[in-house]
Amino acid sequence: ETEKELMTMRIIAFAACLALASAATVPDVALAQDAEPAQSLVQPITVYGDIISPYPGGMVSQGSQAGFLGNRRFTDIPFSTLSITSENMENRHSETLFDAVRDDPTIRYQYTPGSLLENFHIRNFTYNNNSMTLNGLASMAPVAVTAVEFLERVEIQRGPTGFTTGINTGGEIAGNINLVTKHAPLDDVTRLAVDYASQSKVGGHVDLSRRFGAAKEFGGRMNAVYRDGDSWLDEQKQTRSLYALALDYTTDSWHVTLDGYYTKDEFSGAGPVIVNGRGYRGAGFPSPPDTGASAKGIFGEAENKALIAHADYQFNGHLNAYVGGGIARGEYTGYIGGGDFAIADASGAGTLSLAATNTWLDKKTMEFGIRADFDTGPLRHRVLVGGATTTVELGAANVGPPGIPGNLYGAMRPAGPLPDSPSEPGKSQRHRFTSWIAAETASVLDDAVQLTVGFRRQQVVLDSFNPNTGAKTSTYDKSATTPILGLVVKPLGEQLSLYASYIEGLTRGNVVPLGTTYVNAGQILKPYKSKQREIGVKWDSGDFAVTLAYYDIRRPSYVATPVSGGLLMEPAGEQKNTGVEITAFGELPYGFRTLAGASFSRTEIVKANNGLNEGHEAHGSPRFQASAGLEWDVPPVPGLTLEARVFHIGSMYGTNANTYKIPSSTTADLGFRYRIEQFSVPMTFRLSVQNVADKAYYSGARAEGVFALGIGRTIKSSLSFDF
């Protein structure tokens, strides 16, 4: 009965949103005499009131938030970045980050799509979605899985971000994904959409925004989504709910925002699998199972909610101050990552392992700072001084049945009922990150030469608790400083940008386990730093752009060093990742648009424990990846656009010992959209087919010897109305 009541409430809420949107015909408010709209209300409004409009072609934006450096155009950022627009996500039928970031050639999945965990590899390093930022604020993004319909942009910064975003909960140095929420533009938005995805998933989306006031200084935007039905995965049913509200107050001096969201994702009946080959000793890795292969009888649920506020005050043309903060809670239960199938031989025989979790995270964050812009002679200075603090408390418990014999190419079904999720656990950890930051960008010749220098002083405190009694069991408290040095030179104005940068990533040190033979057992090790050097070229014709980057990242790893009396655990190992990335986007002649890229990389284990695997490539690290998307506006049929995308993942070693390789794969998507404007209400019909050939493939590595499967053929369609 409770479940029926919840379903009824969801349907009523969604119907109310549809009714509100269809009835919303708020007239433009007449401007007071001599009043003009605030100049910062240029579409689209972003979190700091700066202008970041889409680049020609609409697939990516002109720039992104460079962490504490603020919003900058892509030619002014001394790093490799890519910023995916809401228009691109809508045209691609993106539902979660799995869909939104596919166009980035440096990114691969860690989990099979269809699970409720969205973790990635960026530049062949692990990136956990708990490390994302939302509107630049740490830990405010959803955990486990992220709906994207309420987002204006998905901004990707590749490589370590120790200065720009600071140390994250997971301590990864791969890069950062920043989510930017939609706010009300100057023009009203009333958009309704219905959609369908195979096998039988049906849903709807409402996007409604209005501005009010004599100068339209008040804005509000609402997004609501509900989907339900059978997915592309065999026997899996999915349900998704999203409700988001964004308010803002914008004048010449003030930009104040308030964002709130609630998301809930569920699956039942079956879940995806990852293939575990740690115990496999064959010469070549077994081929992947047919697309749609699933572990039957499992379920999962992820729920997220947050409230975030930000205020920016412009004292004059040279000085502004900002403060922001938020609270969020994420929780997930069930078999959210799917099943782990350990193969024993080439026939696919093996054992299915399942684990139900009950995990929660309570998150609080705050940031503040002052930005100053002034000249001294020919030099222009942009100075930032600020700070930030983030606290994350969490509890986790897991339970699972014994291993279930089966076959990767056949039955993966438990013989009897599975254990339910454990009850909500007590707090087991508290993470506290505090940082102080100072930076300056000095430029000359109308920003033709820009030099950025700065540092971030960070303190990491990790408290561990007994989840049953609440008693504190240990404390980790260490500090470190990470710098930044970036140079941008524009010899031909905005058309050509040359850059070089040095930045460090910060990872909290381990606590050497007690009860071991290490001579420093129990010691809290200092945070260790990963170092990146990057150079690049960004060329911008105004309609078409190409970026080229070379990077060198060196990350320490733990080794056991022989010393007098035993072994010393220390971060004296090293992995080196080097690579070249090229990305192209924008408009081409004859009605073509593109977003394409390629990544050439090489990983090397430089130093390891007792020299083991030194000189080898790191597991799960393809040397070559590429993606290419092309759109064409068909001249004889106004409003018709054809779409095609191709994705390639190169072969990769399955283990650090380089004993076998995972084969390369190439898949393709096709689609079209047709916009009809002959009627009073413009409408757009979209149709896309992912993985047209329904090709089975491995999409990335979860861990050494553990691999995710790619998405099977999925047909998606939608019809949207712009009132």
Look at residue 158 in the predicted model and tell me its pLDDT: 93
Q: For residue 50, give the 3-state DSSP assignment.
A: coil
Look at residue 609 in the predicted model and tell me its pLDDT: 81
How many CB atoms are located within 10 Å of the residue 381 CB? 14
For residues 238 and 267, is the Cβ–Cβ distance under 8 A? yes
Look at residue 171 in the predicted model and tell me its pLDDT: 66
Query: Which pLDDT tens digit goes with each residue over 439-458?
Result: 999 999 999 999 999 999 99
The CA-CA-CA angle for residues 690, 150, 714, to 5°, reads 15
The reported pTM is 0.91
| Bridge partners, 493 (sequence order) | 491
Query: Which pLDDT tens digit goes with each residue over 244-274?
Result: 999 999 999 999 999 999 999 999 999 999 9
DSSP class of residue 634 equals -
Distances (CA, A) of 615 to 312, 576, 579, 608, 656: 50, 10, 17, 9, 10
Question: Which residue's entry shows tokens 């990769």?
Answer: 652
**Tokens of residue 498, six digits:** 């040359």
| Bridge partners, 722 (sequence order) | 191
Look at residue 142 in the predicted model and tell me its pLDDT: 96
Mark the ranges of the chain whose per-residue pLDDT is less than 50. Answer: 1-2, 4-50
Tell which residue, 642, 645, 602, 652, has the closest CA to residue 627. 645
Look at residue 45 in the predicted model and tell me its pLDDT: 34
The set of residues, in sequence order, having a beta carbon less than 8 Å from that of 70 and lying 6+ positions away, is 48, 50, 371, 384
What HEC string does 65-120 produce? ECHHHCEEEHHHCCCCEEEEEHHHHHHCCCCEHHHHCCCCCCEEECCCECECCCCE
